[in-house]
Amino acid sequence: MEIIAQMLSLALEDTKKTRLMYQANLSYSQLIYYMNFLLDKEFLKVKNGIQGNRYCTTEKGREFLESIDNVIIQAR
């Protein structure tokens, strides 16, 4: 759950795959696993650009992040 939340937070602003991997401290295979999951669930989307693909958090992903924040706040 922490990895998913961190990846969605990092992608609130368009970001590249490499940044996600390093900032979330993931191996390449872990990155691919979580990215496929997040793309499949439509929490992330791909934006094709001149300088390569960028990934951004969708509205559904933002709602999920907000839900996680609410759970953490209530747990305190």
41-64 pLDDT, tens per residue? 999 999 998 888 999 999 999 999
The pLDDT of 58-74, averaged and rounded, is 89
pLDDT digits (tens, 9 = 90+) for 1-39: 889 999 999 999 999 999 999 999 999 999 999 999 999
Q: Which domain does 51 fall in, by range?
A: 2-75
Q: Does pLDDT of 73 surpass 80?
A: no
> Rounded to 5 degrees, what are φ and ψ at 26?
-115, 155
State the CATH number of the domain containing residue 55. Answer: 1.10.10.10
Helix (H) or strand (E) holding 32: helix 28-40
Residue 55's beta-bridge partner residues? 15, 46
User: How many domains does the chain fold into?
Assistant: 1
